[in-house]
Structure 1
Amino acid sequence: MKYHLLSKEELIMNHNSPCFGGFGNPKEINYCAPLQQLIDEHPSLLAKMAEFNQLVLSYESSNSVEDWNDAINNLHLKITAFIEELEPHSDREEDILFEMMVKYIGREGGPIAVMEYEHNTAKLNLKEFMDKVESIKNEKKIITKDEALTIFRHLKIVYMTLTDHFMKEENILFPMAEQMLSDDEKIELSNKFAQLV
């Protein structure tokens, strides 16, 4: 396989492309209120994800867990609280922000396609976890460690997907939206966010 070494001009061009986050330092951008709201919602979601991921890791490495149903129930409580906070956040992005950005950058093969794929991956794995826990409770099934660890994989996927996803939003998608949306569209975004509360 041959490798193409990038010239200085190509490196500069790539650095300035939207996919390289060429909007300056995202932390220095003065975002409109609705975009800032989405950014401000991330720390709490990240904290909840870190908490459930840490719990999964501690269960995986533990040799002292006697009741794996109890372990699953502990995680179920945390995931229920996480989903309650995640759903309105992702609704604001999917139903409003992404749809406004599609007019400019399309849906296929670009950042919106990636964002929607990652949303779907997280939602699917959260649903799989919740469905399996529901089934265990309904059947009053006693769970083994191996069964529990298989179920926990869904949460590890959610953690990895959304941790990376939030970083992409903050470094690429939100700066892109701030630059591309008109003042009127930003007002419309704000109004539509308010209607979702």
Structure 2
Amino acid sequence: MNAIQILVKEHDSILQMIDVTQSILNERDVSKINMNHVEKIIDFVKNFADKYHHLKEEDVLFVEMEKHGMPHQGGPIGVMLNEHDEGRKYIKNATQAVEIFKSGDTLIYDQIKDNLLNYCTLLTNHIYKENNILYPMAERLLPANVKSEMSNNFKKANTSTVDNEYHDKYLKMVEELSTLYNI
């Protein structure tokens, strides 16, 4: 599997978790929402989507694209980086709201829901742009030897932050929640 295929495959897992998130948040009765599942989603987003996946984009793919003439600001890379930051803000706000919710203030649930739904919309559109615009650009822009080296650099980047057990934990989490919510 080449570097771009790895990123697309990870997008599939992220989109599956987005479907789970939307399914959970469609429940109108707050008392029926399993907040442990919401916390698992936030954990997945922070650690798999951001720390594991975005790391490869930001530290490897985007760097290589810049080296080969793609501007950092004012172009697709700048847009993707801004969207990564916007997503982090939604997740930070949702995390804070979950803590308040757990302390007994159930009125804050709307903030959890709004931030997570905004994140879902942002990431769905973001992934579409990456899969259909940015990644094909990278395929055309980057020489074969660079794309091959990127796969090795992905492994190095991930090894410095996570191990295979960590990766498998999050893939298993997506599958378990997908099964629970019939996704």
Q: TM-score, normalised by structure 2?
A: 0.77
2:77 corresponding residue in structure 1: 112
Q: Distance in 1 between matches of 2:31 and 2:143?
A: 57
Q: Kindly tell me the number of residue pairs found equivalent between the two proteins.
A: 156
Q: Which residue of 1 aligns with 2:92?
A: 127
Give the Å deviation of 1:188. Answer: 2.4
Q: What does residue 51 of structure 1 align with? A: 20
Map of 1:143 onto structure 2: 105
One-letter code aligned to 2:61: L
Long gaps (5+) in structure 1? 1-31
With over 3 angstroms needed to count, the CA separation of the structure-2 counterparts of 1:165 and 1:98, relative to structure 1, is same
8 Å Cα contact 2:2/2:148 also seen in 1? no
Within a 5 Å distance, the mapping from 1:45-124 to structure 2 comes to 45-58=14-27, 61-62=28-29, 65-66=30-31, 71-86=34-49, 87-103=51-67, 104-124=69-89
Q: SS where residue 105 of structure 1 aligns?
A: coil
Distance in 2, matches of 1:152 and 1:163, equals 16
Aligned to 1:38: 7
Q: Percent identity?
A: 32
| Structure label with greater radius of gyration | 1
> In structure 1, the residue corresponding to 2:26 is in which secondary structure?
helix
The two structures, once aligned, show a CA RMSD in angstroms of 1.9
Note the C-alpha offset of 1:134.
Answer: 3.2
Task: Tell whether the 8 Å contact from 2:97 to 2:111 is kept in structure 1 after alignment.
Answer: no
Is the 8 Å Cα contact of residues 52 and 79 (structure 1) preserved in structure 2? no
Preserved contact between residue 101 and residue 109 of structure 2 (Cα < 8 Å): no
